[in-house]
Amino acid sequence: MAALGSPARTLRGLLRELRYLSAATGRPYRDTAAYRYLVKAFCAHRVTSEKLCRAQHELHFQAATYLCLLRSIREHVALHQEFHGKGERSVEESAGLVGLQLPHQPGGKGWEP
């Protein structure tokens, strides 16, 4: 099993992702059911003595996996918005993308001397 880091770091990461999501909706992230569930679950699975708690490790692994999913979705959406095609482009726009310029006709299209 790969090193997961501390459970507190994972919880902070999850709460950060909740803040990103709540910024889009305008609601405070502390008013969401997801926030209440995360805090309750992490408090319930906290190790209070020096025993090995399998449930805590399972919760931490699931939380780290969910954190990875949330980060990946957020980054995917950002990349998709940045690089998604914008439909048909004109010849001038396509030439500009690769650093070329079309020849300029002084009289406009169809100009004849």
Q: Per residue in 80-112, pLDDT tens?
A: 988 887 778 888 888 888 898 888 766 666 666
DSSP structure string for 41-63 = HHHHT---SSS--HHHHHHHHHH
Q: What is the pLDDT of residue 73?
A: 93
Residue 57 covered by a domain: yes
- 1, pLDDT greater than 50: no
Q: Which residue has the tokens 């902070």?
A: 12
Residue 97 covered by a domain: no
Report which of residues 96 and 4 the model is more confident about: 96
Task: Report the percent of the chain where pLDDT is more than 90.
Answer: 27
The range of the structural domain enclosing residue 28 comes to: 7-83
CA distance 18 to 73: 13
Count structural domains, the chain. 1
Residue 15 covered by a domain: yes
User: Which are the contacts of 28, defined by CB distance < 8 A and separation ≥ 6?
Assistant: 22
Residue 102 covered by a domain: no
Residue 109 covered by a domain: no
Q: What is the pLDDT of residue 44?
A: 83
- Against a cut of 0.75, is the pTM above it? no
* Cβ atoms within 10 Å of 17's Cβ, excluding its own: 19
Radius of gyration of the CA atoms of the chain, in A = 26
